[in-house]
Chains A and B, each alone.
Chain A
Amino acid sequence: MTEQEKHNRMMDYLYDEMSDTEKREFEELLEADAKLKKELEELQATRKVMGTVSLDSDELKPFSLSTDRNSESENSSKGDTKLYRLMKVGMAAAILLAGMMALAFSGVQFGKTSDGFYLAIGNQPEPVQQGISEEDVMNLLAQIQQDNTLVMAALAEQTRQQQNEQLEEALNLLTAYYDQRRQQDLLLIAEGLTQLEEDTYYRFLQTDETLGDIIYALSNP
Chain B
Amino acid sequence: MDDASLVKRYQLGDIRAFNELANRWQSKIHRFSYGFFGNADDAGEITQKTLIRVYKKAGELEEPGKFSSWIYRIANNLCLDELKRAGRRKSSPLGSWSEQIAESENHIPSRQLESKELGVIIQNALLTLSDDQRVVIILKEFEGMKFREIAEILDESENTIKSRMYYGLRSLRKILTEQNIQPEYLNYD
Q: Which residues of the partner chain A approach B16 to less than 8 Å between Cβ atoms?
A: 67
Query: Is the C-beta of B153 less than 8 angstroms from some C-beta in chain A?
Result: no
> Interface 1/0s, chain B 152-189, versus A by CB < 8 A?
00000001001101100110110010000110011110
Interface residues of B in 27-46 (CB under 8 A from A): 27, 30-31, 34-35, 40-41, 43-45
Query: Is the C-beta of B97 less than 8 angstroms from some C-beta in chain A?
Result: no
Choose among A12, A50, A57 the residue that contacts B43 (Cβ–Cβ < 8 A).
Answer: A57
> Interface 1/0s, chain A 48-76, versus B by CB < 8 A?
11111111111111111111110010001
Interface of B is mostly: helix
Residues of A in contact (CB 8 Å), total 43
* Residue of A57, A68, A76 contacting most chain B CB atoms (<10 Å): A57
Contact B166 A52 (CB under 8 A): no
Query: Is the C-beta of B108 less than 8 angstroms from some C-beta in chain A?
Result: no
CB distance from B173 to the nearest CB of A (A): 4
Contact A11 B30 (CB under 8 A): no
**Bound form: Cα–Cα A41–B173 in Å:** 11
> Interface 1/0s, chain B 134-160, versus A by CB < 8 A?
000010111000110000000000010
Q: Count A-B pairs with CB separation below 8 Å.
A: 127
Query: Is the C-beta of B102 less than 8 angstroms from some C-beta in chain A?
Result: no
Task: Considering the complex, give the chain A residue whose CB is closest to the CB of B175.
Answer: A46
Contact B173 A42 (CB under 8 A): yes
Query: Is the C-beta of A91 less than 8 angstroms from some C-beta in chain B?
Result: no
Contact B40 A59 (CB under 8 A): yes
Contact status of A64 and B19, CB under 8 A, knowing A50-B122, A80-B52: yes
Q: Which residues of the partner chain A approach B187 to less than 8 Å between Cβ atoms?
A: 45
Q: Which residues of the partner chain A approach B70 to less than 8 Å between Cβ atoms?
A: none
Contact B173 A63 (CB under 8 A): no
Contact B55 A7 (CB under 8 A): no
CB distance from B30 to the nearest CB of A (A): 5
Interface residues of A in 20-52 (CB under 8 A from B): 41-52
**Bound form: Cα–Cα A64–B22 in Å:** 7
Query: Is the C-beta of A125 less than 8 angstroms from some C-beta in chain B?
Result: no
Contact A65 B185 (CB under 8 A): no
Interface residues of B (CB under 8 A from A): 13, 15-16, 18-19, 22-23, 26-27, 30-31, 34-35, 40-41, 43-45, 47-49, 51-52, 55-56, 115, 118-119, 122-123, 138, 140-142, 146-147, 159, 162-163, 165-166, 169-170, 172-173, 176, 181-182, 185-188
Contact A61 B122 (CB under 8 A): no
Contact status of A50 and B172, CB under 8 A, knowing A15-B147, A45-B187, A64-B23: yes
Given contacts A42-B186, A67-B15, 6 further A-B contacts (CB under 8 A): A4-B163, A46-B172, A47-B169, A57-B43, A62-B26, A64-B19
Choose among A43, A55, A64, A82 the residue that contacts B34 (Cβ–Cβ < 8 A).
Answer: A55
Q: Which residues of the partner chain B approach A165 to less than 8 Å between Cβ atoms?
A: none
Task: Considering the complex, give the chain B residue whose CB is closest to the CB of A66.
Answer: B15
Choose among A12, A54, A66 the residue that contacts B162 (Cβ–Cβ < 8 A).
Answer: A12
Choose among A17, A55, A63, A68 the residue that contacts B15 (Cβ–Cβ < 8 A).
Answer: A68
CB distance from A160 to the nearest CB of B (A): 63
Contact status of A60 and B47, CB under 8 A, knowing A11-B166, A47-B141, A53-B115: yes
Q: Which residues of the partner chain B approach A72 to less than 8 Å between Cβ atoms?
A: 15
Choose among B41, B119, B166, B182 the residue that contacts A7 (Cβ–Cβ < 8 A).
Answer: B166
Contact B186 A63 (CB under 8 A): no
**Bound form: Cα–Cα A42–B171 in Å:** 12
Query: Is the C-beta of A79 less than 8 angstroms from some C-beta in chain B?
Result: yes
Contact B181 A55 (CB under 8 A): no
**Bound form: Cα–Cα A113–B34 in Å:** 57
Q: Which residues of the partner chain A approach B186 to less than 8 Å between Cβ atoms?
A: 42, 45-46, 48-49
